Amino acid sequence: MFHLPSKVMICQRCEEPLLKHSVVAFPNKPITFTTIACSSCNSCVGIKLNGKLESIDEVLGSGGERNGWMKVTSDEDNVVYYVLNKVLYEQYEAPDVEKFESTYDLPDSNDVLKILWYQGVAIGFYTLKLKGTYNEKTRCKYEMTTLDTAYIRCSCRRKGFGTSILKDLITDHPDQDIGLSKPISTAMWNVLHKFLMQNSQYRLRFWEIEGTGREGERTLVWYSLNSKSKKKISKEGRELSNK
């Protein structure tokens, strides 16, 4: 039997009532909930969990007094992560392939998920593959703890929150090398450049990795940054000489 939601929601894009209901299940987690989306443009603007219907803004603003990076431990936090990843990032702030941004799969059961809260509002997330985690595709274990995905809401960028990802990783994993899965986005390269220019003690700690980061599958981020700078200077020099 079909039941209408307890409150009416309108799609901000189409100005139509939302009629499409879809059940979402997390892989390898006993979590299910319902998304409420526009039947015209398919944009999600509501989530129903445990019989409670909330708008996207209500879901993202459910942090109370929380501030900073916090691990995802509850069903409610998993839903917040889903909204950040699959709704806000994919549908409303679509990744730019020219900036090496890409969509993200839902995390594996062993991944570490953290959400960035600012005055009770969720504004970003990142996911980690811990060192020693087994990769089903390559049948190898990760050689180092690896930042697999990361996202900061567009309205909150250029405010130091990207750098806070690196600081949080260093705090949680002291004296460990940290990998970043390829492709690394243009925005993250900029964050890494600024951070490592200001914190030389960490220049040998961050690696760009493919696969699980085995020998031959990793490159020191600081080395890559220097190579990029040299190529940029060389290109600019050629352009000037051709004028």
Q: What is the pLDDT of residues 14-51, one digit of tens each?
A: 666 656 778 888 877 888 888 888 777 778 888 888 88
First to last CA, the chain: 72
Q: Which of 115, 108, 56, 49 is nearest to 83 (CA)?
A: 56
| DSSP symbol at 67 | -
The values of phi and psi at residue 156, to 5°, are: -110, 10
pLDDT over 70 (residue 116): yes
Please check the confidence at residue 179 and state whether its pLDDT lies above 90. Answer: yes
What value does the mean pLDDT take over residues 107-131? Answer: 95
The closest alpha carbon to 124, from 167, 154, 99, 94, belongs to 154
pLDDT band at 229 (very low <50, low <70, confident <90, very high): low
Work out the mean pLDDT of the chain and round it to a whole number: 86
* pLDDT given for residue 24 in this prediction: 85
Q: Name the superfamily (CATH) of residues 64-241.
A: Gcn5-related N-acetyltransferase (GNAT) (3.40.630.30)
More confident of the two residues 28 and 242 = 28
CA atoms of 69 and 167, how far apart (whole Å): 10
User: How far is residue 153's CA from residue 11's CA, in Å, rounded to a whole number?
Assistant: 20
Kindly tell me if the per-residue pLDDT of 165 is higher than 60. Answer: yes
99 in Cβ contact with 187 (< 8 Å): yes
Angle value at C-alpha 158, between 195 and 13, nearest 5 degrees: 140
pLDDT above 70 for 147:
yes
Q: At what angle do helices 161-172 and 186-198 cross, to 10 degrees?
A: 60
User: Residue 233: is its pLDDT beyond 60?
Assistant: no
pLDDT confidence tier of residue 128, bands split at 50, 70 and 90: very high
Q: What is the pLDDT of residue 26?
A: 80
The fraction of the chain above a pLDDT of 70, given in percent, is 86
Contact in structure between 74 and 27 (CB atoms under 8 Å): no
Comma-separated ranges of CATH 3.40.630.30 domains in the chain: 64-241
Say which amino acid occupies 233. I
pLDDT confidence of residue 32: 87
> Is 241 a residue whose pLDDT tops 60?
no
Q: What is the pTM of this model?
A: 0.86
Distance of CA 44 to the CA centre of its chain: 19
- Compare 153 and 63 and report the one with higher pLDDT: 153
For residue 89, which of 11, 23, 34, 155 has the smallest C-alpha distance? 155
- pLDDT value, residue 102: 92
> How is residue 153 written in tokens?
């809401």
Q: Environment class of residue 164 by beta-carbon count within 10 Å: exposed (0-12), middle (13-18) or buried (19+)?
A: middle
Q: For residue range 50-60, what is the model confidence (pLDDT) as tens digits?
A: 888 888 899 99
CA 181 from chain centre, in angstroms, equals: 12
